[in-house]
Amino acid sequence: MKKDPNAILTLNSAFYYYGLTDTIPDHYYVATPKSNRKIEDVRVKQIYENSNAFEMGKTTIEYDGVDITIYNEERLLIELIRNKRKFSFDLYKEIISNYRKLIHKMDMTQIMEYAYELPKTNMVMETIRLEIL
């Protein structure tokens, strides 16, 4: 986060920091705008995000006394489903199972807004209906 203040923690890293998985990621997964320069660090997996959707769901949490810029849990649910094939079956099932436990605390309106703004809307909505609700 110090190397690129525009970066937002996402995917495996964010799931770990939110406690949705106990699997420590091999890399720091960060989203940046498409126009951003490449982050030259082998520990970082950079995901270039469409500039219109980049800040959608951006928030800050405190982790071990440090403020971290990260996507909220609602946005991450959409990202999990959109990127399902990038996860091992076991990791995906672990995270989905943990989402089922907290779905009643989440903002469903916000989830729907994100689903309609980001790619793969139909697949995301169908997966939420079948696997989460």
Q: What percent of the chain has pLDDT over 90?
A: 86
pLDDT per residue as tens digits for the range 79-101? 999 999 999 999 999 999 999 99
User: In the prediction, which pLDDT does 99 show?
Assistant: 97
118: left (phi over 0), alpha (psi -120 to 50) or beta: beta
CA distances (Å), 79 to each of 32, 39, 40, 41, in order? 14, 21, 24, 23
Cα separation, 7 vs 55, whole angstroms: 10
Whether the predicted pLDDT of 3 surpasses 80: no
pLDDT in tens, 42-70: 999 999 998 789 999 999 999 889 899 99
Tokens for 2, please give them: 């110090």
Sign for the CA dihedral angle at 82, 103, 88, 50 comes to positive
